[in-house]
Amino acid sequence: MQVFFADDSTQKGARAGMGSVIGLGGIFVAHNCLRPLAAAVDAIATEVGIPKVEEVKWSPKKGTWIHENLHGDARRDCYARMLQAAAGHNVRAIVTCWDTGHTWLKGEDAFTRCVKYLFERITMHLEAVDDHAILIADRPGGGKKQEEEFLSDFIAHVEAGTEYVVPDRVLLNVLTTPSHLLRHLQIADLVTGIVTSMVCGSYDYAQPLFPHIKTLLAKNNNECAGGTGLKIFPRDLVNLYYWVLNENLYHTGGGAMAYRLPQPHLPYAKNEHK
């Protein structure tokens, strides 16, 4: 059995025509790797001086120990080691991103759609590896109402599935807990935040760490992460798989068909920035 740890990230797009990009994703950890992975991340944090009560985050708030004391190469190297530890414990990752600048869906509606697409890809991955999972998410920061809305979206899919997947791989309704209590959720924060930054075109801090995450992303039968480990919406943004993942083929129809990237008639045929 596996546990999928989920987190979200919303960032301003740095590419021409992008709005805010909503990222929702996380990591699969096998049950027998849960404690060893947490111990490995704890050891790295202790070695670099991060206090035991400090939460590891992609965008640490001002006043936190990491924000004030772990800068530049030191933070990058620390996060790289944590992501390498994840790879060493056979972690797999899935992230969905929704660009609000290329669609009329915004805010909660866009987030709800991301929940649906993430659930589909979680289920597809579990079918591919013939396994089951429970889902644990960072407790939403907007209070009880936001938490209940988030849970109700997941529960609907766990109970009914979607038009593409049946609900037989996720064993329980999603559980939530504050992310400072679990190192696994903190790694999910790094993964989701870095991938969302790459989709946004905010490369400065994310790009040096992205190779460590690319190895974690779930792959299709053709060993490509585009559309599987990373899913970007709306669908006409497929050229971003070329710029983010360096994949020159995009597979559809369960891998039966493929076309070359970048597609000149679709957005981001060039790696455009504002």
Q: Residue ranges of the domains in the chain?
A: 2-260
**pLDDT in the model for residue 274:** 44
- pLDDT value, residue 162: 55
Do 28 and 3 meet the contact criterion of CB atoms below 8 Å apart? Answer: yes
- Which residues of the chain fall short of a pLDDT of 50? 142-144, 146-147, 274
Which amino acid type is present at position 98? W
CATH numeric code, 2-260 = 3.30.420
Residue 31 has what pLDDT? Answer: 96
Tell me the whole-structure pTM to 2 decimals. 0.91
Q: How confident is the model over 161-205, as pLDDT tens digits? A: 555 555 678 887 778 888 888 999 999 999 999 999 999 999 999
Instruction: Write out pLDDT tens, residues 82-100.
Output: 999 999 999 999 999 999 9
Angle formed at CA 96 by CA 171 and CA 199, multiple of 5 degrees: 155
* pLDDT for the residue numbered 171: 80
Q: What is the pLDDT of residue 160?
A: 54
